[in-house]
Amino acid sequence: MQAGSGDWENVGAGQAVVWLAGEEHTTRAVADITAVVIEMAAAL
Query: What digits encode the pLDDT tens for the residues 1-44?
Result: 888 888 998 988 889 888 887 888 888 888 898 888 888 776 65
8-to-23, 26, 36 alpha-carbon distances in Å: 15, 9, 20
Among candidate residues 21, 25, 26, the one with its CA nearest the CA of residue 40: 21
Count of residues making up the chain: 44
Q: What amino acid is encoded at 1 in this protein?
A: M
pTM: 0.56
List the chain domain ranges. 1-44
